[in-house]
Amino acid sequence: MAITIAKAEDRATVTTHAARIEHVSKSFAGPAGRQLVLDDITLDVAPGEFVTLLGASGCGKSTLLNLVAGLDRPSAGSIDTPGGRPALMFQEHALFPWLTAGKNIELALRLRGVPRGERRGEAQRLLELVRLNGAYGKRVHELSGGMRQRVAMARALAQDSDLLLMDEPFAALDAITRDVLHGELTRIWEETNLSVLFVTHNVREAVRLAQRVVLLSSRPGRIAREWTVDIEQPRRIEDAAVAELSLEITEELRGEIRRHGQH
Amino acid sequence: MASTDTTSTASKTDDLAGLEAGLDALEAVQVTRTPVREVLVKKVLPPLVAVALVLLVWQVLVSAKVTDEYKLPAPSAVWDSLATMWLQGTLFDVLWTSVSRALLGFLMALAIGTPLGLLVARVRFVRAAIGPILSGLQSLPSVAWVPPAVLWLGLQDSMMYTVILLGAVPSIANGLVAGVDQVPPLFLRAGRTLGATGLRGARHIVMPAALPGYLAGLKQGWAFSWRSLMAAEIIASSPELGLGLGQLLENGRNNIDMPGIFLAIILILVVGIAIDLLIFSPLERSVLRSRGLLVKS
Ligand SMILES: Nc1ncnc2c1ncn2[C@@H]1O[C@H](COP(=O)(O)OP(=O)(O)OP(=O)(O)O)[C@@H](O)[C@H]1O
Ligand SMILES: [Mg+2]
């Protein structure tokens, strides 16, 4: 635990990974006995790396993120996040409706131990980072879906964790808003030394964002294949290179899904 | 990563910012306050019309002499009773005796019901042990507690407070339990990832998230406090207890003073509604509105 005392800049050099998932399995008690959801997952996220985890609906992506976030324990295997508790962004914004946008961020700062006098300025800075300068005093219900997700992103960043876990955070947004948020996420990731593990079932989104795409098979979830994405940022979701790799990955994903129909 | 020349990156960023500003402007919800005039016309006028109609029907019934005058007094007779009490200076004493008792009793119920509700909501054994009894108690009319309370404590203020507590504590505790039960699990998980666990979780997540349910419980708790007190005052009247609204009603029956009885009933009703309208409804509405849970009609 000595590592957690080290400053953020030191950590990246001290450790070789932002998250290390080793031989992790997870099963739940279901109606038909124990159901194996994740089977022997081994995955490293390097410091500063952007990894997307891709898989069909119900393959256990959220389960895996919850394990990494420490919200649940693996049935077997181990998970190491040397930077301490990772930040987590959900598919729903999960902002607290009894607080304003700014106060949501300040609560995260407060729980992190930031002194009272510095919270407001820091919250304003984080809102500027997601380009929501005027949203400090806004209530959650006064914000649009895209703005809510940006506040949620600012709140996650307020945890000042090395590792950001994102569970389909843009799935409920329209295409243009999602495009914009992809741009923002890439920019913020480039500006900070954040490592990101991003879950999605959208192949193009995975390719648009990641340095590495990891494909999970379904029932039980296993790592099926992974791709390194060598396309220069800033990318766009319509780029030919993005489309080409997406096509290849989609074929593989279809194969995975088809395999389940055969028996 | 960004090996593109700086100008194109910069223009791309500007592009994004502009697009985003446009989206924000398009999607942001406009919040406007209703003008005072509209509030008056939509909220204040209808109940006033209703009251005027009731008075009118009442007067018509009296004028048509549908029944004896000692059974149905004229509105003016009730008004005269009110004026008499006002002139004697007893009106405020009577009101204050009852209202102060009810509010004090309510505050005591709050102090007991809140921790009790938290215990039932959070401790599984306590819930299994007294949860069902607590919700069952809500359906027991609090007037049932008056006879035992009189025998336990005699004709004293403490007996009144006992009846109020037995009526209001279950409502307040149950409201809090319902509020805590309805906290979305997503908030609890979000709180945990932010580091709000244990007591910090209760303080920063569970309590604020449960506030609407708690307030609904308080509102009901007030109604039960007031009803319980009136039951106690009517049944257990005694000179040592001072003159409250319940005793006023009971005195009216003993003196066969129908205008006095009507006045007492109206005052009981008005006080109950007024406290609700002045304290609990605004509190509840402001909480719901700030969370976007109140849809403007
Ligand atoms: N707490 C639980 N108890 C029992 N089964 C669970 C639990 N959580 C998840 N599961 C099961 O595990 C499987 C994977 O669920 P998970 O939510 O991780 O999928 P996912 O990949 O995130 O899917 P989606 O893309 O729809 O979000 C599902 O079949 C689900 O029924
Ligand atoms: Mg999921």
pLDDT in tens, A22-50: 888 888 887 877 888 888 888 888 888 99
Interchain contact A96–B (C-beta under 8 A): yes
Pocket test for ligand 1, best of A28, A90, A202, A205 (most atoms within 8 A of CB): A28
> Could you identify the residue written with the tokens 């007024």?
B274
Q: Which residues of chain B have pLDDT under 70?
A: 1-14, 27-32, 295-297
Interface of B with A in 185-204 (CB under 8 A): 186-187, 189-190, 192-196, 200, 204
The closest of A91, A27, A58 to A256, measured between CA atoms, is A58
pLDDT at B11: 59
Average pLDDT over residues A137-163: 88
Mutation pick for ligand 1 pocket among A26, A34, A57, A61 (CB with most ligand atoms within 8 Å): A61
B99 vs A241, residue with greater confidence: B99
Q: What is the pLDDT of residue B1?
A: 41
Strands A76-80 and A19-30: antiparallel
How much is the pLDDT for B95?
92
Long-range contacts from A119-127, C-beta under 8 angstroms, 24+ separation: A122/A158, A123/A154, A123/A158, A126/A154, A126/A155, A126/A157, A126/A158, A127/A101, A127/A102, A127/A151, A127/A154
Task: Please say whether the beta carbons of B109 and B170 come within 8 A.
Answer: no
pLDDT value at residue B169? 93
The reply to whether residue A144 touches residue B27, judged by beta carbons under 8 angstroms, is yes
For every residue of A191-245, DSSP letters joined together read HS--EEEEEES-HHHHHHH-SEEEEEPSSSB-EEEEEE---PSSP-TT-HHHHHH
Q: What is the model's pLDDT at position B106?
A: 94
Query: Among partner residues B24, B186, B196, which is closest to A147 by beta-carbon distance?
Result: B24
**pTM, two decimal places:** 0.77
What is the structure's pLDDT at B30?
62
Choose between B122 and A197: higher pLDDT.
Answer: A197
Residue A105 confidence (pLDDT): 94
Do residues A166 and A197 touch, judged by C-beta distance below 8 A? yes
- How far apart CA B113 and CA B175 sit, in angstroms, is 9
Q: Would you give the end-to-end CA distance of chain A in angstroms?
A: 47
- Range ranked top by mean pLDDT from A141-145, A255-259, B165-169: B165-169
Taking CA atoms, A76 is separated from A21, B46, B166, in Å, by 11, 66, 52
pLDDT in tens, A89-106: 988 889 999 999 999 999
**What domains are defined for chain B?**
89-290 (1.10.3720.10)
Q: Going from the N-terminus, what domains does chain A have, and what CATH number goes with each?
A: 17-86+162-258 (3.40.50.300), 95-160 (no CATH)
Q: What is the mean pLDDT of chain B?
A: 85
The answer to whether the CB atoms of B205 and A176 lie below 8 A apart is: no
Residue B72, SS3 per DSSP: coil
pLDDT band at A107 (very low <50, low <70, confident <90, very high): very high
pLDDT over threshold 70, residue A6: no
Helix (H, G, I), strand (E, B) or coil at A112: helix
Q: What is the ipTM of this complex?
A: 0.83
Question: Which of residues 49 through 108 in chain B touch A, CB cutoff 8 A?
Answer: none
DSSP bridge pairs for A54: A200, A215
In angstroms, the CA A186 to CA A208 distance is 9
Residue B85 CB coordination number (10 Å): 19
Minimum CA distance residue for ligand 1 atom 25 = A57
A192 in B contact zone (CB under 8 Å)? no
Residue window 17-36, chain B: list those with CB within 8 Å of chain A.
17, 19-21, 23-24, 26-29, 31
C-alpha span between B143 and B137 (Å, rounded): 12
> Facing residues of A35 across strands?
A28
Identify whether the C-beta of residue A201 lies closer than 8 Å to the C-beta of residue A250: no
pLDDT tens for B151-172 read 998 888 888 999 999 999 999 9
